[in-house]
Amino acid sequence: MGEVATTFKIMPDSPERDVHKIKDAISEKMKVQDYHVEDIAFGLKALRILVVSKDGATDKIEKEIRGIEGVSEVEVESSTLI
């Protein structure tokens, strides 16, 4: 199997949570290829990250992200073989 590029949408547990700190915590566990912060509503922001993995184990990556303090939800938005 080749490399798999996966985009995750990460929601913080509150509008006061700094999504850049969440992104930094994720970067300590895995290589984040790209990221984008998106305004949702009422001060809440979503974090979108792109992770490239060799094994394509999105469940494992999702579980690691969920274990980070301040993360409320993790959703796989897209996944493609590169």
Strand duo 71-81 + 32-41: pairing: unpaired
Task: Set out the domains of the chain in order of their start, with CATH numbers.
Answer: 4-81 (3.30.70.60)
- What is the structure's pLDDT at 71? 97
Q: What is the C-alpha radius of gyration for the chain, rounded to an integer number of angstroms?
A: 12
**Low-confidence stretches of the chain (pLDDT beneath 70):** 1
Residue 79 has, within 13 A of its CA and on its CB side, a CA count of: 15
Q: What are the Cα distances from residue 36, in Å, to 9, 10, 13, 72, 80?
A: 10, 10, 18, 17, 19
- What is the structure's pLDDT at 30? 95
Helix 58-66 × helix 19-29 angle, to 10°: 130
For the question of whether the overall pTM of this predicted structure is more than 0.75, the answer is yes
- What is the structure's pLDDT at 57? 83
